[in-house]
Structure 1
Amino acid sequence: MPELISAPTRIPVPGGKLIDEYAGRVTTGTGAVSVAHMVAPAGWEEPAQTPEFDEYTVVLRGTLLVEHDGGVTEVSARQGVVTRAGERVRYRTGPDGAEYVAVCLPAFAPDLAHRED
């Protein structure tokens, strides 16, 4: 039987970014996959990470910049990007911020992100 997710769970994070998890460890108790809607303000950035999960991201509005060992990939509205487990990446936004959906396989967990200090 289908399971209705009537509302996401807001995940508190510093720096002005909003994360609403629709499926994952917090909302549905699954470690297989997480689906989250993110809104990050202009100039937002997070530490580099080398996660143990693949991340599939679709940008809905604005620009997401993905730093990696080969440079920086600019992902604009109506574009997507895939980062693979074991790749060192760092996410930040362009001058207009970004709104995007991220799907992580397996589900996101802070201890699986391996963020740098």
Structure 2
Amino acid sequence: MLDENKYYVEEKKYTIQNNPFVVPTTDGKIIKEHFGIASNSNSQISIAHMKAPSGWSEPFQTPEFDEFTFIIKGKKQFIIEDETIILEAGQSIKIEKNTRVQYSNPFTEICEYIAICIPAFSIDLVNRETK
């Protein structure tokens, strides 16, 4: 029997993210994590909206997570093992964990994309090589 004097709150089975965590960077890349470790919301998956400026690149890395990328605008270059792949708006890719990869935008326009990592992105799991 419910106590008529107590207020019961129904727990929602969804979360709306209106204020993603903006990850600080030093390379001009804009990272807005909607769900993941940085946003303190999830360690199983991370979902981030990214904008990589023209000329941006990261060192080679061998992440311990699967990464899915969907290109919204522009182009992004991937060097996976020894193969160079260029994706354009509307294309997507899955790169399996423990694969050596380098991400860059050597093109003239900004690249806007969504990145999803399973498990969630963590700098401790990236294994970036020193330049």
3-state SS in 1 of match to 2:124 = helix
Q: Which residue of 2 aligns with 1:22?
A: 34
Provide the rounded CA distance (Å) in 2 between the counterparts of 1:4 and 1:14. Answer: 29
Q: 2:123 maps to which residue?
A: 110
Q: 2:58 aligns with which of 46, 54, 60?
A: 46
Instruction: Name the CA distance, whole Å, in 2 between partners of 1:95 and 1:68.
Output: 22
If the length of structure 1 is used for normalisation, what is the TM-score?
0.96
Alignment deviations for residues 5-48 of structure 1 (CA, whole Å, 9 cap, x no partner):
12111001111000000000021431100000000110100011
Task: Point out the structure with the larger strand share.
Answer: 1
* Superposition deviation, residue 88 in structure 1: 0.2
TM-score (norm 2): 0.86
Misfit runs of 4+, over 6 Å: none
Partner of 1:11: 23
In angstroms, what is the RMSD of aligned CA positions? Answer: 0.9
Q: 2:98 maps to what in 1?
A: 86
Distance 2:96 2:39 in 1: 24
Compute the displacement of 1:78 (Å): 0.5
Q: 54, 67, 76: which is aligned to 2:88? A: 76
Identity %: 36
2:34 alignment partner, SS class: strand
Structure 1 unaligned regions, length at least 5: none
Deviation at 1:69, TM superposition (A): 1.7
Q: 5+ unaligned residues in a row in structure 2: which ranges?
A: 1-12
Distance 1:15 1:6 in 2: 25
In structure 2, C-alpha distance between the alignment counterparts of 1:43 and 1:84, rounded to whole Å: 25
Question: What is the DSSP-based 3-state SS (H/G/I as helix, E as strand, rest coil) of the residue aligned with 2:125?
Answer: helix
- The counterpart of 1:57, out of the listed 28, 45, 69, is 69
